[in-house]
Structure 1
Amino acid sequence: MLSNKDFVTQSLELNLFFMRIAKEHSIFLEAGFTTRDYPFIEQAEMLKNIFSSLLVETIQMSEGLISQETLSSGELVTELTLDAERETEFYTNIKIDRNITKMEAALAIKPPSQINMGTVRMVENLNNRAIRAAEQIAMFKSNVLKNVLSCRMFTTNYPLLIDHILREAKFYLRMLRKLQSREEFDIAREVAFQESFWNRIMAEHAKFIRGLLDPTEVKLFDTANNFGAKFDELTEEARKLSQDIGLLPSVTDSSLKNTVGIRDFKKQGTEGIIQCNIKSIAFPLLGDHVVREANHYIRMLKRFKQYNME
């Protein structure tokens, strides 16, 4: 059973990461709808505001309770986040509260705080509300995907991207429920599951990048294509771990090396989009978004390597 300290820290770190991810998913969905589907635009805006409010509350609750490892990982905010938000708001006219990003960046300078039973109860309550919000956005994404696949709706988002962010919502729900139940689980099996999940996410990121680049960006297209193929291989290797868990250390090492590589590629691409040096139809915030997801996975992989050595 998780200790109160681990429960609080892991819950807050999970929510700080995924609430921002969910907020941005709402923005990407909203930006992709046509004016014909105005009720969906309104619902995406509502979900953006729900996760924005929850994120503000989580940031305030997290002061002094987050590990330095997480704060320095670049998974919560990066040096590009504010610029990416500003540019994306300019392009879409969707309001993005950049004060939230400034608040989150300031967590790195907060002194350590003590955890008491009041803190535990507050986090349990936060997790319950996060579960309800995650269920709500998962249902919304599922409805959008169903409409797109049955040709009842047009969106500028790929059907695979909608399915991709639906899987991320379900992953977030899975982790929240495990934390709420203080569930003990088999570390090796959990690592195998997470590497399979995140390697597939990284493969799809590469394919989305490839598809959002202007056709003249041949070198970047080829690099993205190569990363997509490599992470497809790594996804298959991770899936085979259930039959041979002894392969875990080598798969983790390869996943880490390639995730650092694709993170650096995404970061360079995001800088290029912000500076208007790369021709694409990608929002700058989408670039920063996938950089942060890679940074999160890198932190997880480093932790997995420690488990492998124990």
Structure 2
Amino acid sequence: MHASMNYVRMSLELHLFFARIMKEHSFFLETGFTQRDINFIQQADNFRTQFDTLLGEVISISDGAISQEVLQSGEIISPYTLRAEMASSFYTGVQIPTNLTQAEAGLTGGVVMRPNDMLVQAVSSINQRAMSLIAALAQFKSTILSQVLACKMFTNSYPLLIDHIMREAKFYWRMVQKIEARERMNLEAEILEQELFWNRIMAEHSKFIRGLLDPTEDELITTANNFGHEFDQLTAEAKAAIDKSIPILKVTEDSLRATRALRDFKAQGTNGIAECKIRSIIIPLLGDHTLREANHYLRLLKSYRQV
């Protein structure tokens, strides 16, 4: 693939996944504050709408410029996304623009395109603006975490969840920065960085799910707890691979097996929440959110096996 089109494809695919993640983080924060912190509610809502705008721009130039593999992975939208958005909007009163989800459902991929200077410039502009917006959101999350840990604010988000979404914002920023700088990639180092990052994320997802399930959901709590422990071990394995203590292929294979099982658990849970068959305080969009992140990681792991 021509270098310019590879730059376009990598940028658009990253934003299609992560811009949606960021707008949902903003939504979760917005709906978690108390009325005393109306200023923070307004700031979170502003970030949410800015990421809606960014995502809309990305969607408008993505048709035919991204891979079929990404479109089919379930990381951009899942079979549950639209329903989860509608239900979450109903529960909170926050108007979620489902037209973005419908537009993403109509995207096509796999078309070989010639380099287009206007498209490259448009993507570069998006990358630059995205980096500024991501950095501002990461700082906002850091401020919230500091306030919560100092007992100056109450929110229904776990402190670890706030830290978790702050790390995801910083990770997104670094990925955009690497693409925009046209950095030459050290493939092994990139794989290890991704596996260390995402194994920790999967461990924390499992623990959040465990803590947000109703106490009567004994079987689901036990399953989520077991996944948490398993991904803690996989995070340790990824660190060991970085130190050359174990082969990288072992980490990839172990992570692939565990992530596939966790993805299936999340899919069942997301559907169960949508159908009101699971007792929890998990808002439907959060279930779908964690499912898409597992789908994203699965696609990465499958690609690493082919290296």
Instruction: Using structure 2 for the length normalisation, give the TM-score.
Output: 0.97
**C-alpha separation in 2, matches of 1:210 and 1:272:** 15
Partner of 1:97: 97
Contact 1:203 1:227 in 2 (8 A): yes
Q: Which runs of 5+ in 2 are unaligned?
A: none
Q: What's the CA shift string for 1:3-59, capped at 9, x where partnerless?
A: 111111000000010000000000000010000000000000000000000000000
Partner of 2:55: 55
Q: Which runs of 5+ in 1 are unaligned?
A: none
* 2:292 maps to 1:292: yes
Partner of 1:127: 127
State the shift of 1:110 in Å: 9.0
State the shift of 1:108 in Å: 3.1
What is the letter of the counterpart of residue 258 of structure 1?
A
Q: What's the CA shift string for 1:55-114, capped at 9, x where partnerless?
A: 000001111101001000000001100110011011111110000000011103796644
**C-alpha separation in 2, matches of 1:281 and 1:242:** 37
In the TM superposition, 1:194-209 aligns within 5 A as 194-209=194-209
Q: What's the CA shift string for 1:236-283, capped at 9, x where partnerless?
A: 000111221761111101101110100110110011111000000010
**C-alpha separation in 1, matches of 2:242 and 2:291:** 29
Given the superposition, is the C-alpha separation of residues 60 and 114 from structure 1 closer, same or farther in structure 2, using an over 3 Å criterion?
farther
Partner of 1:188: 188
Please identify, of 244-253 and 71-80, the stretch whose mean Cα deviation from structure 2 is larger: 244-253
Partner of 1:210: 210
**C-alpha separation in 1, matches of 2:258 and 2:196:** 14
What is the letter of the counterpart of residue 174 of structure 1?
R
Please identify, of 242-251 and 97-106, the stretch whose mean Cα deviation from structure 2 is larger: 242-251
In the TM superposition, 1:1-310 aligns within 5 A as 3-108=3-108, 113-244=113-244, 247-307=247-307
**C-alpha separation in 1, matches of 2:108 and 2:294:** 20
**C-alpha separation in 2, matches of 1:93 and 1:282:** 16
Task: Say what the alpha-carbon RMSD is for the aligned residues.
Answer: 1.3
SS at match of 2:292: helix
Contact 2:141 2:166 in 1 (8 A): yes
Contact 1:63 1:110 in 2 (8 A): no
State the shift of 1:303 in Å: 1.1
**C-alpha separation in 2, matches of 1:238 and 1:23:** 29
What is the letter of the counterpart of residue 55 of structure 1?
L
SS at match of 2:56: helix
Please identify, of 184-193 and 96-105, the stretch whose mean Cα deviation from structure 2 is larger: 184-193
Contact 2:240 2:246 in 1 (8 A): no
Contact 2:65 2:109 in 1 (8 A): no
SS at match of 1:264: helix
SS at match of 1:183: coil
SS at match of 2:278: coil
What is the letter of the counterpart of residue 235 of structure 2?
T
**C-alpha separation in 2, matches of 1:85 and 1:245:** 44
Contact 2:67 2:109 in 1 (8 A): no
Q: What's the CA shift string for 1:98-140, capped at 9, x where partnerless?
A: 0000001110379664431221111111100110110111011
